[in-house]
Amino acid sequence: MKILVLGPGAREHAIVLALLAEQAEHEIVCAPGNAGIAASGVEVADLAYTDPAAVSAFVADRGFDLVVVGPEAPLVAGVADPLRAAGIPVFGPDAAAAQLEGSKAFAKRIMDEANVPTGRAARVASAEEAGAVLDEFGAPYVVKADGLAAGKGVLVTEDRDAAIEHVATWAPHGEVLVEEFLDGQEVSLFFFADGENVVPLTPAQDYKRIFDGDEGPNTGGMGAYSPLPWLPGGDAAFIQEITETVALPTVRQLAAEGTPFKGLLYCGLIVTAKGIRVIEFNARFGDPETQVVLARLTSPLSRYLLASAQGTLAEVPAPEFSDEPAVIVVVASEGYPGTVVSGRPIAGITEAGQVEGASEGVHLVHAATARTEDGGWIATGGRVLGVVARGESFAAARDRAYDAVGKLSLEGSQHRTDIAARVA
């Protein structure tokens, strides 16, 4: 198949590597991709990937059997719409269904209509209005700005003044929700969706905070592992419950409203003492969870991407996953998630973009790297690299991952040392 993967980062790198690992001769183009993706041996093409007209023109010119949209920004911008209208199979929802991620208020409404378990929420229009609502919900306070806010829209705090301040900051830009605090372990579970049916992948857990012990500010994700051996009732029962109570009702509700969801439904969940609750939906693969989920996938990824795009998921066998655990440790630049020091050289990466001297079962995904004129590597952003390792146990996978992290060097870089420690 001739496949276009849209997006610049580590998630797209993981998708490309999974496609390359298939027993099939795909022609893969990634746009805009990055230096690490190029080093994996696929074509990267410079493209304004969030611009529907630019993407449509590129696809019309080059011709693809399948377009896979990685990040949320192009989906919310409507990159999928004209492609789908032109009859091209696209993995990724139209703009209307991408509102599931693009608007927290939209997601809450869909969940209400579909009876999906989630935290109570109330809309507040101003800081003046916020005080009474915060007091009703009680501490810790959860305040969420509507719309894509690049991870900066959600504040969870014990500090009532800070919560009011967050409302004041975001209220002028759109709706703000105050939400019930949900206490428990977080789980990410992905589903392929074809507009009508869903097919589950396998659960993973993300580490959102920058420092060990879940301290410090939220980030885009500093690490992840899969599977989750501690799930109540085991994997299968958990997946079945989320399929029946969350994913299917949500996809059916969107279909009933005339906005079918074809792509990846990301269910962000908290396992509370009172049951499982949805904290968010995303309309695309999660990063960095995708890197460990796809590292365990043993069925061909393209089969599910295409079936989702074509509405034929009911006809394909369930995907299979290795029992071997997978772990990812993210390496970030100095300053992240605040002001980042960019442009520093990275040592320890081969010509193929992998870790020099890493043990078997380890691979590297690139989030923000570039080549220098003399063939070296530099860091170009906040989260720079992800070291993914599989092993026969969590302890083995962790040892391999951290051993490889130790072979990389980037001045001032940061990584968490406790990824998957709770399961090893």
Rounded distance, CA 348 to CA 22, Å? 27
Q: Which stretch binds ligand GLY (CB under 6 A): 53-61, 280-288, 318-326, 332-340?
A: 280-288
Name the strands in the sheet holding 362-366, side by side, starting at the edge strand that comes first in the sequence: 205-206, 223-226, 326-332, 383-390, 362-366
Rounded distance, CA 424 to CA 420, Å? 6
Among positions 96, 268, 303, 344, the unique one binding ligand AMP when judged by CB under 6 A: 268
Cβ within 8 Å of residue 254, ≥6 positions away: 97, 100, 110, 260, 261
Q: Which residue has the tokens 């092993």?
A: 391
Alpha helices in 21-114, H assignment, sequence order: 35-39, 52-62, 72-76, 80-85, 95-102, 104-114
Is 283 near ligand AMP (CB under 6 A)? no
Is 282 near ligand GLY (CB under 6 A)? yes
Is 211 near ligand AMP (CB under 6 A)? no
Segments of 125-181 assigned E as strands: 141-145, 154-157, 176-179
Is 208 near ligand AMP (CB under 6 A)? yes
Is 221 near ligand GLY (CB under 6 A)? yes
Q: How many residues in the shown chain lie near ligand AMP by CB under 6 A?
A: 15
Structure tokens at 371: 């080549």
Name the strands in the sheet holding 176-179, side by side, starting at the edge strand that comes first in the sequence: 121-124, 176-179, 141-145, 154-157
Is 289 near ligand GLY (CB under 6 A)? yes
The site partner of 403 among ligand GLY, ligand AMP, none (C-beta below 5 to 8 Å per kind) is none
Residue nearest to ligand GLY (CB): 286
The distance of closest approach from Cβ of residue 348 to ligand GLY in the complex, given in angstroms and rounded to an integer, is 25
Is 9 near ligand AMP (CB under 6 A)? no
Q: Which residue has the tokens 């428990």?
A: 184
Cβ within 8 Å of residue 395, ≥6 positions away: 424
Among positions 1, 57, 127, 156, the unique one binding ligand AMP when judged by CB under 6 A: 156
The distance of closest approach from Cβ of residue 275 to ligand AMP in the complex, given in angstroms and rounded to an integer, is 14
Q: How many residues in the shown chain lie near ligand GLY by CB under 6 A?
A: 6
Is 286 near ligand GLY (CB under 6 A)? yes
- Binding to ligand AMP, residues 64-93 (CB under 6 A): none
The site partner of 289 among ligand AMP, ligand GLY, none (C-beta below 5 to 8 Å per kind) is ligand GLY
The site partner of 12 among ligand GLY, ligand AMP, none (C-beta below 5 to 8 Å per kind) is none
Rounded distance, CA 76 to CA 93, Å? 9
**Are 130 and 166 a contacting pair, CB within 8 Å?**
no
Rounded distance, CA 116 to CA 54, Å? 37
Give whichever of 47 and 167 is closer to ligand AMP, judged by the CB atom.
Answer: 167
Q: Which stretch binds ligand AMP (CB under 6 A): 70-78, 168-176, 179-187, 231-239?
A: 179-187
Among positions 119, 220, 221, 288, the unique one binding ligand AMP when judged by CB under 6 A: 119
Rounded distance, CA 301 to CA 22, Å? 8
Is 280 near ligand AMP (CB under 6 A)? yes
**Are 189 and 201 a contacting pair, CB within 8 Å?**
yes
The site partner of 282 among ligand GLY, ligand AMP, none (C-beta below 5 to 8 Å per kind) is ligand GLY
> Where do contacts with ligand AMP occur on this chain (CB under 6 A)?
119, 142, 144, 154, 156, 179-182, 186, 208, 218, 268, 279-280
